[in-house]
């Protein structure tokens, strides 16, 4: 029996000719990631274990993005611990205020992840890099510690689900709607510890930003990782970014999949995930009048330039509704600069939005967008668990930048066609 893309990558990094689902392996790592929340725990364990050096100062990164710029003394202390550690160990890729970004948007942009690589990160949305045809997955801080020290990690080889993507998205339907549709279809545990593998003729109609969005939310279906077949779109994206050799892996024709789903992009409608799980996906024929208090446009899911362009298309010449707070967060400094050069930031400010420096802030209920009791937010983020964005009796609705922007204008959850038709 053949192997899936993920299985081929893991076999190569374990020095094996083949692996099978359920097999325990130790694999070499190409990159290890931590942020300002998870890295301090890894650093403490690193010191406790008596390690005195990292396995490769070019292959470890820490990104200060969750509570940075620092929101309080504790956040400042955590960032200082990361800063000191990276200085002590001459870590090349340390990203702090002014040159950082939201980690899962920053690393692909910087060319730090590439097709065929094996990557771990002490953050669950590390699965984002599967958009480039890499195996990437989130781990705990103790695994990050071992990865930093030894450049290796234990894995149980996952089985896989195949998504055969065909067609092309209609106007105002986005990759966010695709992944919410899929999670609604299979459930938040529908891919539990399995690989979500995307291929098919429709991939050519999905940009790299689309793929990054979809791979990012693989974890919301319980997946170990999400991964896209490498094609011309992938190679065009990494050209000029990745300056090292990499290997492209393709699934075998006889690879075994637990399930196979056909996803016709042309049938995807604007979709909203209702509280309090991403699987509570509804299209607008199921949605009534739902008043909102806040709209958040950004995050590692939807803070890239295409996302900001979509939001600006809706907000241009319009105003955010009274009693609605609209917060726009470019995912990286480069995205921020490009949005400024394209005039998008002026559109946002003229509409009455607050525009922030890159930060994860409101997505995890950290800061810069906390909800009070009874408040509702529409958000382009990836999770809408109880209390995710603030008070446990607040509500978060997940949607695309188009829907988040349209909702900010109307003051209720709305599809963009309500404003543009």
Q: Which domains does the chain have, with CATH numbers?
A: 5-265 (3.30.499.10), 273-413 (3.30.499.10)
**pLDDT recorded at residue 402:** 97
Residue 420 confidence (pLDDT): 73
Q: Give the angle subtended at the CA of 236 by the CAs of 235 and 237, to the nearest 5°.
A: 90
62 close to 79: Cβ distance less than 8 angstroms: no
| pLDDT at residue number 275 | 95
Q: 117 pLDDT band (50/70/90 cuts)?
A: very high
Query: Stretch 250-261: mean pLDDT, rounded?
Result: 95
What integer pLDDT is reported at residue 289 of this predicted model?
Answer: 92
Mean pLDDT across 295-305: 96
Q: Which pLDDT score is estimated for 421?
A: 63
Question: What integer pLDDT is reported at residue 254 of this predicted model?
Answer: 94
Q: Tell me the mean pLDDT in the region 164-183.
A: 97
Residue 250 above 70 pLDDT? yes
pLDDT of residue 418: 83
Over 80: is that where the pLDDT of 166 sits? Answer: yes
Is the pTM above the cut of 0.85?
yes
Report how far apart the first and last C-alpha atoms of the chain are (Å, whole number): 52
Buried b / exposed e over 21-57, threshold 16 CB at 10 Å, is beeebebebbbbbbbbbbbbbbbebbeeeebeebbee
Question: What is the mean predicted confidence (pLDDT) over 260-272?
Answer: 97
Euclidean distance between CA atoms 16 and 25, whole angstroms? 9
Region 297-320 average pLDDT:
96
Q: How wide is the angle at C-alpha 338 spanned by C-alphas 397 and 68, nearest 5°?
A: 60
Q: Kind of pairing, strands 152-156 and 24-28?
A: antiparallel
Give me the mean pLDDT over the 115-138 stretch. 97
What is the sign, positive or negative, of the torsion defined by CA atoms of 274, 388, 118, 58?
A: positive
- pLDDT given for residue 1 in this prediction: 75
Q: Does position 417 have pLDDT exceeding 90, yes or no?
A: no
Contacts of 167 (CB under 8 A, 6+ apart): 202, 205, 264, 265, 266, 267
Whole-angstrom distance, CA of residue 258 vs CA of residue 100: 39
What's the pLDDT score for residue 223? 96
pLDDT tens, residue by residue, 335-378 = 999 999 999 999 999 999 999 999 998 888 889 999 999 999 99
Amino acid 200: pLDDT? 96
d(CA 144, CA 275): 31
Whether residue 218 contacts residue 27, with contact meaning beta carbons closer than 8 Å, is answered with no
How would you classify the pairing of strands 325-328 and 225-228?
A: unpaired
Assess whether pLDDT exceeds 80 at residue 235: yes
Please state the φ and ψ torsions of residue 333, each to the nearest 5 degrees.
-60, -40
pLDDT at 150: 96
- From residue 14, alpha-carbon distances to 30, 114, 250, 279 in Å are 12, 18, 17, 34
94, 266 Cβ separation under 8 angstroms: no
**pLDDT of amino acid 193:** 94
């Amino acid at each position: 029996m053949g192997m899936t893309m993920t299985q081929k990558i893991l076999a190569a990094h374990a020095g094996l000719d083949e692996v099978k689902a359920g097999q325990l392996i130790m694999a070499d790592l190409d990159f290890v990631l931590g942020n300002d929340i998870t890295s301090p725990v890894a650093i403490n364990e690193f010191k406790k274990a008596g390690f005195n050096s990292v396995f490769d100062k070019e292959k470890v990164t820490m990104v200060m993005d969750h509570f940075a710029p620092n929101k309080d003394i504790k956040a400042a202390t955590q960032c200082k611990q990361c800063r000191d550690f990276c200085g002590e160990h001459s870590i090349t890729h340390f990203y702090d205020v002014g040159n950082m970004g939201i980690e899962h948007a920053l690393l692909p942009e910087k060319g730090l992840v590439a097709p065929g690589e094996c990557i771990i990160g002490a953050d669950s949305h590390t699965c984002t890099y599967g958009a480039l045809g890499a195996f990437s997955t989130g781990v705990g801080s103790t695994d990050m510690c071992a990865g930093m020290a030894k450049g290796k990690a234990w894995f149980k080889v996952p089985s896989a689900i195949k998504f055969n993507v065909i067609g092309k998205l209609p106007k105002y339907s986005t990759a966010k709607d695709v992944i919410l549709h899929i999670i609604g279809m299979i459930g938040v545990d529908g891919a539990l510890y399995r690989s979500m593998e995307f291929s098919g003729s429709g991939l050519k109609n999905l940009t790299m930003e689309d793929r990054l969005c979809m791979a990012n939310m693989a974890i919301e279906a319980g997946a170990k990782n999400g991964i896209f077949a490498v094609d011309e779109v992938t190679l065009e994206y990494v050209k000029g970014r990745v300056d090292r050799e990499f290997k492209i892996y393709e699934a075998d024709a006889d690879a075994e999949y637990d399930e196979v789903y056909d996803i016709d992009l042309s049938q995807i409608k604007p979709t909203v995930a209702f509280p309090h799980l991403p699987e509570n996906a509804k299209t607008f024929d199921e949605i009534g009048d739902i008043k909102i208090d806040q709209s958040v446009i950004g995050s590692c899911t939807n803070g890239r330039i295409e996302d900001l362009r979509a939001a600006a298309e809706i907000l241009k010449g319009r105003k955010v509704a009274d009693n609605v707070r609209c917060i726009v967060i470019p995912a990286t400094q480069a995205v921020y600069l490009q949005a400024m050069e394209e005039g998008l930031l002026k559109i946002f400010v003229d509409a009455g939005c607050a525009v922030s420096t890159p930060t994860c802030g409101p997505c995890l209920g950290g800061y810069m967008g906390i909800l009070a009791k009874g408040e509702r937010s529409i958000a382009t983020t990836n999770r809408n668990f109880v209390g995710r964005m603030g008070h446990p009796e607040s509500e978060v609705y997940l949607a695309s930048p188009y829907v988040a922007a349209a909702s900010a204008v109307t003051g209720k959850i709305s599809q963009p066609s309500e404003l543009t038709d």
